[in-house]
């Protein structure tokens, strides 16, 4: 089996062909080529066969590590002229718009963010602090289930504080599923939550069985102090 074929199977990225694999002192660089001829806007569904020009430099993305090796994929991309977003580098099927990480890598960060703190993620995956925050924002923007507020009748509200009470985070959870469905920086949760989660509020109006319950503040697993809101 050729090394490019082996890496195509290992990476398991859709819509690409592996054309070259290079072992460098600190990382493995895999060169890809998009299989599709159609150019797609990274921001919307516009696509065309007409290319604007070629991007003069390679685009690179960090992929999931290969053992102790840091894995980087790169590709030479074209540019597209979108009637809405103007001239942009074409979108790729394996990474989100504007990201230097593959979708698989970002999804891993997003999942880890639900189970460990940001410092641990940063050290485990060897990414900087700001990148972790931006990745989580992108994952939230695209992967959050838009139906999570449907059938929401019984909720719990928690306020998490850190930095000695100077920063607060208000979290709303669905008692039926035990999952958080909404969150926002700041406190005064009862009022802000009621005004902001319009879907939850409309769901409450639709059913007489609906009830707003106050969940007893639970101490977060990783230690941030949880305090109940002031009435």
The footprint of Zn ion (CB under 5 A) covers 41, 43-44, 46, 82, 84-85
Nearer to Zn ion, 98 or 151 (CB): 98
CB of residue 16 to Zn ion, shortest distance in Å: 22
Torsion of CA 119, 124, 125, 128, to 10 degrees: 30
Closest CA to 159 of 93, 75, 219: 219
Nearer to Zn ion, 46 or 52 (CB): 46
Nearer to Zn ion, 85 or 175 (CB): 85
Q: Which residues pair with 75 in a beta bridge?
A: 32, 59
CB of residue 39 to Zn ion, shortest distance in Å: 11
Position of tokens 């504080």? 161
CB of residue 147 to Zn ion, shortest distance in Å: 26
Nearer to Zn ion, 18 or 82 (CB): 82
The C-alpha R_g of the chain, in whole angstroms, comes to 22
CB of residue 92 to Zn ion, shortest distance in Å: 14
Coil/strand/helix, residue 211:
strand
Angle between helices 118-125 and 129-143 (to 10 degrees): 100
Nearer to Zn ion, 1 or 84 (CB): 84
CB of residue 45 to Zn ion, shortest distance in Å: 8
Torsion of CA 99, 139, 19, 44, to 10 degrees: -70
Distance of CA 107 to the CA centre of its chain: 6
Q: Are 210 and 204 in contact (CB under 8 A)?
A: yes
């Amino acid at each position: 089996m050729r090394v490019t074929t082996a890496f195509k199977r290992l990476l398991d990225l859709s819509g690409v062909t592996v054309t070259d694999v290079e072992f460098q002192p600190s990382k493995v660089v895999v060169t890809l080529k998009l299989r599709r001829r159609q150019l797609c806007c990274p921001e919307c569904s516009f696509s065309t066969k007409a290319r604007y020009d070629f991007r003069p430099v390679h685009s690179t993305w960090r992929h999931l590590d290969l053992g102790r090796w840091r894995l980087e994929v790169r590709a030479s991309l074209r540019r597209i002229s979108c009637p809405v977003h103007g001239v942009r580098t074409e979108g790729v099927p394996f990474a989100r718009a504007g990201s230097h990480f593959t979708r698989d890598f970002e999804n891993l960060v997003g999942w880890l963010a639900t189970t460990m703190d940001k410092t641990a993620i940063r050290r485990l995956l060897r990414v900087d602090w700001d990148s972790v925050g931006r990745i989580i924002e992108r994952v939230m923007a695209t992967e959050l289930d838009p139906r999570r507020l449907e059938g929401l009748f019984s909720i719990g509200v928690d306020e998490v504080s850190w930095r000695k009470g100077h920063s607060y985070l208000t979290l709303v959870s669905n008692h039926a599923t035990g999952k958080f469905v909404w969150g926002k920086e700041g406190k005064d949760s009862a009022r802000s939550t009621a005004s902001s989660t319009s879907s939850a509020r409309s769901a409450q109006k639709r059913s007489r069985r609906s009830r707003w319950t106050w969940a007893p503040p639970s101490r977060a697993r990783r230690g941030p102090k949880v305090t109940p809101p002031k009435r």
